[in-house]
Amino acid sequence: MASKWIEFVTGPLEQKKQYREARSRIRALPEPYREAAEAFGRYLTYYGGVIDGDAIVQMYVDGADLWERAAVDGTPVREIVGSDPVDFAETFAQAYSAKQWIDKERARFVQAIADAQSRQEGRP
């Protein structure tokens, strides 16, 4: 009973476990992959804006897979991210596009403009 209440408040415990495992995998990477993967994860945290827990966890797990594979293969970091690391990270995040926090505000903004236009035209 208590675990269901805790999960209702904090989200599924399995997601947290998967996220922590992905973070541990990244911390275990050799340099320079660890440094690049941590910077990549930090950027995704700020850029992503994804509010779906499953999508966030999958994004981090896939990111850990990517950086682990690169370390095993010895792929240069720049070959992974290309000449524009920001574009790489944002394109990566877009593949996990789920409902974002901004979606609600976009809808509210569009509705506010429509309401303002209606009032200006004398419609209720």
Domain count, the chain: 1
Beta bridge partners of 67: none
Could you report the per-residue pLDDT of 10-50, keeping only the tens digit for each? Answer: 566 888 899 999 999 999 999 999 999 999 999 988 886 66
Classify residue 13: in a domain, yes or no: yes
d(CA 63, CA 41): 8
Classify residue 14: in a domain, yes or no: yes
Classify residue 30: in a domain, yes or no: yes
Classify residue 71: in a domain, yes or no: yes
Q: What CATH number is associated with residue 63?
A: 1.10.1900.10
* Listed residue (32, 28, 50, 38) closest to 102, CA to CA: 50
d(CA 41, CA 96): 14
Classify residue 116: in a domain, yes or no: no
Classify residue 31: in a domain, yes or no: yes
Could you report the per-residue pLDDT of 42-94, keeping only the tens digit for each? Answer: 998 888 666 677 888 899 999 999 999 999 999 999 999 999 999 999 899 88
3-state SS of the chain is: CHHHHHHHHHCCHHHHHHHHHHHHHHHCCCCCHHHHHHHHHHHHHHHHCECCHHHHHHHHHHHHHHHHHHHHHCCCHHHHHCCCHHHHHHHHHHCCCCCEHHHHHHHHHHHHHHHHHHHHCCCC
Name the residue with higher pLDDT: 29 or 101: 29
Residue ranges making up the domain that contains 93: 2-99
Classify residue 74: in a domain, yes or no: yes
Classify residue 52: in a domain, yes or no: yes
